[in-house]
Amino acid sequence: MTSLKFGTSGLRGLVTELVGLPAYSHVRAFCAMIAEDGAAGPGGEVLIGRDLRSSSPLIAAQCARAVADAGLVPIYCGAVPTPALALASLQARAPAVMVTGSHIPDDRNGLKFYRSRGEIDKVDEGRILAHHAALNLSAVPAEAATPNSLDALSAYRARYVDFFGPAALDGLTVGVYQHSAVGRDVLCDILAALGAKAVALGRSDRFIPVDTEALRPEDVALATGWAREGGLDAIVSTDGDADRPLIADETGRFLRGDLVGALTASFLGADAIVTPVTSNSALDRPGLFPKVVRTRVGSPYVIASMAQAAADGAARVVGFEANGGVLLGSDVERGGRRLPALPTRDAVLPILAVLTGVAEAGAPLSRLAAERKFAVALSDRLQEVPQEKTAELIAGLDADDPTFRDAAFAAHGGVAARDRRDGLRLTLGDGNTVHFRASGNAPELRVYVEAMAGAAATELLAEGLKLAREATSRI
């Protein structure tokens, strides 16, 4: 059985099962779908970008060969953030393929597919798989394609410099944790262009799997140490393909992605937000946002619901996820400047929105974050847990007979309510929540908790992980 599958954002799997014919054939299938719809670029172009993981250059070359063999024109954009490639795709009115595994380890990689109007949806995923099944391919042609090139970074940089303005971040000193993020240099460039002093930190020549939803202890220690040295108003970073932000305040404490999303949506004056069930329950507090739409986890679900919110009359639609990715579903204006919609995960917009909020308020980020009064939300994961085991755990907790789940959480008053929209989210008798779901991108079991106090959240997360570990080890 192959590890390759479509998850919450694109096709992903082990490098050993993606490089070569699998990458080539899936891109051929994507091109077949595009050709069937007459949806290639004006001259048959298909853009290709990649991240900095070790296998990405080879896979990108195989993608270019596939595009050329499909009778289309490969355009290589090089190592670029995923949202920069998506922006270039929209501007060129051409589809795109991004070679990236995002935050997953270097022994894995993936492909993200874009139509000229934005990220593919779940229907498109099914069509790609159908075309793939119909192909009769035995090998990747040995001859490499020689694609034309396109600068996708200049327009991406200009997008934010033009909207925020050259003095937006005057007086701020921002640490940029660069690690192996593909957008590490352009992020520093944008911050400097907006008036901030950007301090590059932690650059790495090897790929580091920074997951904005499940931070490594090393990342937390680095941020705390850099903050302790003083002089930084914030520390910012992204995941590997720079579509999800990571923001820490002046003390080195990281902000949850849903809090970052809420701050961004408020900055942009959103009249509708779209966010998965894993995001903080404080978002549903009356008066915070005019309309809140909850979805399953994954950008395709958020994008579909953003489009529906706009169709229902919302003028400023912002989507975001607990992992930090922010999607702009409609054009917005602020201070006489206009920012066009970009309905894909983007790390730079929330970073700049949060930092500009700090500059405008003249207050530390820690204070702005505390004023939101979010419940304390924590998450972690158990790695190398097959989805089948996670499904069995969830089935046991969701059974008609409440004995198992009530006994598991007896210290919290048992289970008061269940939400099955994505995995299983349990509201406990004491008002706290614990949520179990399988990752869509890797063989991982995700556990999310909420409580009103930090110690209670930490304890509940440990309980949830222990329960999941013991249950899946018996399955």
Active site residues: 102
* Spatial separation of the C-alpha atoms in residues 105 and 197, rounded to whole Å: 31
Length of the chain: 475
Tokens for 156, please give them.
């991406």
* Spatial separation of the C-alpha atoms in residues 170 and 356, rounded to whole Å: 9
* Spatial separation of the C-alpha atoms in residues 2 and 424, rounded to whole Å: 26
Q: Name the region of 423 (left: φ>0; alpha: ψ -120 to 50; beta: rest).
A: left
How big is the CA angle at 181 (ends 360 and 98), to the nearest 5 degrees?
Answer: 110
* Spatial separation of the C-alpha atoms in residues 74 and 240, rounded to whole Å: 23
Please spell the DSSP secondary structure of 36-84, one letter per residue. HHT-S-TTSEEEEEE-SSTTHHHHHHHHHHHHHHTTSEEEEEEE--HHH
* Spatial separation of the C-alpha atoms in residues 250 and 247, rounded to whole Å: 10
* Spatial separation of the C-alpha atoms in residues 181 and 246, rounded to whole Å: 11
Backbone angles phi, psi at 283, to 5 degrees: -65, -25
Contact 415, 396 (CB under 8 A): no
Task: Give the bridge partners for 327, in sequence order.
Answer: 319
* Spatial separation of the C-alpha atoms in residues 195 and 193, rounded to whole Å: 6
Element containing residue 202 per DSSP (H, E): strand 197-203
* Spatial separation of the C-alpha atoms in residues 344 and 82, rounded to whole Å: 9
How big is the CA angle at 386 (ends 130 and 442), to the nearest 5 degrees?
Answer: 65
Contact 88, 155 (CB under 8 A): yes
Tokens for 33, please give them.
């779908």
Instruction: Cite the DSSP H helix spans in 70-183.
Output: 82-92, 122-134, 153-164
Contact 100, 50 (CB under 8 A): yes
Tokens for 117, please give them.
């109007």
What's 241's DSSP letter? T
Tokens for 296, please give them.
């399953």
Which of 163, 173, 178 lies closest to 195, judged by CA?
A: 173
